[in-house]
Amino acid sequence: MSDAIIEIRNLCKSYRSDKGEVSALKEVSLSIAQHDIYGIIGLSGAGKSTLVRCMNLLEKPSSGQVIVNGNDLMTLSDRDLNLQRRRIGMIFQHFNLLMQRNVLDNVAFPLEIAGLRKKEARKKAYEYLQTVGLEEKAKAYPSQLSGGQKQRVAIARVLASSPEILLCDEATSALDPQTTKSILRLLKDINERYGITIVVITHEMAVVQEICSHVAVLDHGKLVESAATEELFRAPKTAEAKRLVFSGSEHILDMTSDRVVRIQFHGGSAYEPILGNIVLETKTPINILYADTQTVNGAAEGEMLIQLPEDEEKARRIVAYFEEKGLNPREVKDHVKSAGNPDDH
Amino acid sequence: MLSQQEILMIIEGLRDTLIIVGFSTFFGYLLGLPLGIVLAVTDKEGIRPSPAVYKVLDLVTNVLRSFPFIILLVVLIPVTRAIVGKSYGTAATIVPLVVAAAPFIGRLVESSLKEVDKGVIEAAQSLGASKATIIFKVLLPEARTSLLVGVTIAFGTILGYSAMAGAVGGGGLGSIAIRYGYNRFQPQILWPSVILLILLVQLFQVLGMHLSKKLDRR
């Protein structure tokens, strides 16, 4: 892992409201490695938007440190902060394009900020439009574009300031699943091509799965868990993370069973008839409570919840067999409850 | 029917009105536009909040706006004399009109700028735009249609005020309408002047709206 490009230390943010102080972030610390795609996930109101907006000081933290590229942002003058911000791009849920400028001039805007002449700025802007595949819309106005196209323009605009970091604040939340996929692909491409570190804020687990290499789970303003994405999917530790990972599996709550084991497939094991073999070998029917396959970071990740037989010996043999096949079996009696019931932990 | 002399007088009145209102609107914006920008920027939701500056300007604006124009005209006589050399005549009416129009225009500009989407301003901030860049490349251009509508409103209001210019010997259609229509009861002069005033306001309204629509890319 390379050096941290973003370092958040003991970040707190509270707002004054009619009902008194509301604390949006509580002692959040995290560090994001260079070239990483880092996801911050949480339910709405968890404080993730506030957190990402602290990373370029659109939101002023109440206390703590935000260190980007080795600079403590809170100690910078307005001028220096603006210079730093040019290296920290941001895209938004509602795109935030200049509505009275055409697409080309929107992309040229950061170049004008950097002091380029209009003609030169436009020429360069056109190249960035080509990067996102929208050069034929150069003369159109944002109101004439679809959501996905608007986000592409926003991405081209952010690229034009040659940032080292790209903050995405719910950048795909206003888009349909198809468009979301194509935007995520573009982001991944940008990450690989330009080496830009990307921070993704989202409430959708699918977004994290698709592109993030690391993920942090935020809950009620606290960072409750952070790990490599595969790791979090394989073995979420906290109830909040489990709830996000198993968000589709509330229905298994109804199933009552003494012993349930969770197994995981990845890579090749998904092609072996493991369950078939185990039934043949132990001569015991097994009950599948839940199964799902997801693509995490380009690799297939499968998981299943298997109800074990009453017979101790047979149960032991099944677990041993899973272990032998590298399926990482874990008894998950407690997760069944905590996955669906937030108050049960 | 009107005599040729009367027609000539009305045409001269129209010219005077256009001069008075044109100059007043121009100088009104010269003062009112910066005022509106400062109000919008220093407001607590603005890009550089400054409660002290905002409160002072807010108060001054409100005080000036509460003056009935006809009173302002009288109160400002020494100022007018200092600026244009005399306290009566067409040029002399421009001074109080500007003083009355500037705070009004300031408010129009302030409200136009506050309509600009906060998200767009944040996007500019996140790109490292300075406050001046945000004012001149984001706030003003993004608010341009609303600003243009403001100009037509300001023009109409100043035109209304200008009718009182006759009180200090200023020219223009309004003053003709009062002098001939009210003081001498000559409706054949009153009505053409009034109708011309109405047409003038209508014309500018239509032109302004058309231009603002044409320039709107949303």
Could you state, in chain order, the average pLDDT of each consecutive group of 10 residues for chain A (345 residues)? 83 88 92 95 89 95 94 94 95 96 97 94 96 95 96 96 96 92 95 96 90 94 93 86 69 53 70 75 76 72 79 81 82 51 39
pLDDT computed for residue A338 by the predictor:
39
Q: Do A101 and B117 touch (CB under 8 A)?
A: no
Environment class of A187 (CB within 10 Å of its CB; exposed 0-12, middle 13-18, buried 19+): buried
With an 8 Å Cβ cutoff, is B115 touching chain A?
no
How many C-beta atoms lie closer than 10 Å to residue A147's C-beta? 16
Q: Do A96 and B144 touch (CB under 8 A)?
A: no
Nearest CA distance, B198 vs chain A (angstrom): 33
Nearest CA in chain B to A101: B217
CA distance B79 to B97: 12
Token pair listed for B118: 């906060």
Q: Do A92 and B119 touch (CB under 8 A)?
A: yes
Give the helix ranges, DSSP H, for A270-328: 274-282, 312-324
pLDDT computed for residue A325 by the predictor:
79
Identify the H or E element spanning A166: strand A165-169
pLDDT computed for residue A329 by the predictor:
84
CA distance B206 to B212: 10
CA distance A259 to A286: 12
Token pair listed for A53: 């907006």
Q: Which residues of A touch B128 (CB under 8 A)?
A: 81-86, 110, 113, 161
pLDDT in tens, A156-183: 999 999 999 999 999 999 999 899 999 9
Nearest CA in chain B to A103: B217
Q: Which residues of A touch B213 (CB under 8 A)?
A: none
Give the helix ranges, DSSP H, for A213-327: 229-234, 239-245, 274-282, 312-324
User: Which residues numbered 118-137 in B keep a CB inside 8 Å of some CB on A?
Assistant: 119-120, 122-131, 133, 137
What ipTM goes with this model? Answer: 0.87
pLDDT in tens, B199-208: 999 999 999 9
CA distance A201 to A212: 10
Residue B56 pLDDT > 60, yes or no?
A: yes
Q: Greater confidence, A338 or B215?
A: B215
Task: Tell me the sheet residues that pair with A169.
Answer: A92, A201
CA distance B118 to A256: 51
Nearest CA distance, A118 vs chain B (angstrom): 13
The mean per-residue pLDDT over the stretch B163-177 comes to 80
Nearest CA in chain B to A96: B120
Residue B66 pLDDT > 60, yes or no?
A: yes
Q: Which residues of B touch A167 (CB under 8 A)?
A: 126
Of A113, A141, A158, the CB nearest to B217: A141
Task: Specify the 3-state DSSP secondary structure of A72.
Answer: strand
Name the band, by pLDDT with cuts 50, 70 and 90, for residue B63.
Answer: very high
pLDDT in tens, B105-114: 999 999 999 9
Alpha carbons within 13 A on the beta-carbon side of A88: 27
Q: What contacts 24+ positions apart, CB below 8 Å, involve B51-59? A: B57/B106
pLDDT computed for residue A298 by the predictor:
65
The set of residues, in sequence order, having a beta carbon less than 8 Å from that of A9 and lying 6+ positions away, is A29, A64, A65, A67
pLDDT computed for residue A337 by the predictor:
42
Residue bearing tokens 């830009």: A196
Query: Cα separations (Å) of B34 from B60, B114, B170?
Result: 14, 14, 28
Q: Do A88 and B124 touch (CB under 8 A)?
A: no
pLDDT computed for residue A341 by the predictor:
40
The mean per-residue pLDDT over the stretch B2-10 comes to 89
CB pairs under 8 A between A and B: 78
- What sign has the CA pseudo-torsion B111, B116, B119, B124? negative
With an 8 Å Cβ cutoff, is A97 touching chain B?
yes
Q: Greater confidence, B8 or B87?
A: B8
pLDDT computed for residue A277 by the predictor:
79
Task: Specify the 3-state DSSP secondary structure of B146.
Answer: helix
Question: Mutation test of the interface with chain B: which of A66, A86, A93, A100, choosing the one with the most B Cβ atoms within 10 A?
Answer: A100
pLDDT computed for residue A345 by the predictor:
36
With an 8 Å Cβ cutoff, is B214 touching chain A?
no
Q: Which residues of B touch A143 (CB under 8 A)?
A: 217-218
Domains of chain B: 4-116+126-215 (1.10.3720.10)
